[in-house]
Amino acid sequence: MKAILIIDDEKEIRELLGIYLKNYGYGTFEAENGQEALELFQRERIDLVLADVMMPEMDGIELLRKMRQDSHIPFLFISAKSDDMDKINGLQLGADDYIGKPFNPLEVVSRVQALFRRAESYQTPEQRDREFIEIGDVALDLLSCKLYKRGEYKETTSYEFKILALLMKNAGRVFTKAHIYEQVWGEEYMGDENLVMVYISKIREKIEDNPRKPVHLVTIRGLGYRFEKA
């Protein structure tokens, strides 16, 4: 299910858009200002953003600037500021579309559907596979470097994420501690087994129901580690 973040300081607008989008099979998150939205965006898996321009604490323009530092997900402005220059500024900053208030909710849904189609049309199946990996109840968003367990965001360090990405991209393949170290740290392995073991243990705490009896990231005795295929 695609997840859409709706940002507007008017509760009625958030609820209206949420009703229509859910009726078309989308999941939704809501925020009443840019700061709250940014925190949600960093914590949850978001596939598209619908944002007002004029908001308290952080406006839509500043929010877009911050999001575009490390993400290129579809971004649609919905705003009463419908002057041509406002539209141009928003689009030049990286917004994908712009619709003025008052709006027809069905038109918003149509714009959302069009943005998803456009984003997917620019990607080959191989590219889509490289951006998101999901095995069982564990998922990695490779673009935003986020880990999810049953849809719940789990914070990781950069090395934890790199190790997990290496193993999940090659699910079913056994990696020795030396191979993991050389691939992730980019240095020759000098026999420091404890370092890799510590990171494996931390990863298991985040992805396993019982870290002492792992079913995803398993130890192959005498060889190394393997991420099990679904």
Average pLDDT over residues 205-228: 94
SS3 53: coil
Domains of the chain listed by start with CATH number: 3-122 (3.40.50.2300), 132-227 (1.10.10.10)
- What confidence score (pLDDT) does residue 102 get? 87
Strand blocks (E) in 58-177:
75-79, 97-100, 132-135, 138-141, 146-149, 152-154, 174-175
- What confidence score (pLDDT) does residue 116 get? 85
* Residue 82 reports pLDDT greater than 80: no
- Gap between the terminal Cα atoms of the chain: 19
139: phi then psi, degrees, rounded to nearest 5: -135, 145
Q: Chain-wide mean pLDDT for the chain?
A: 85
- What confidence score (pLDDT) does residue 126 get? 52
- What confidence score (pLDDT) does residue 175 get? 94
Measured from the Cβ of residue 133, the count of other Cβ atoms closer than 10 Å reads 17
The span from the CA of 81 to the CA of 87, in Å, is: 8
* 183-208 pLDDT tens trace: 888 878 777 668 899 999 999 999 99
CB distance 211 to 201 below 8 Å: yes
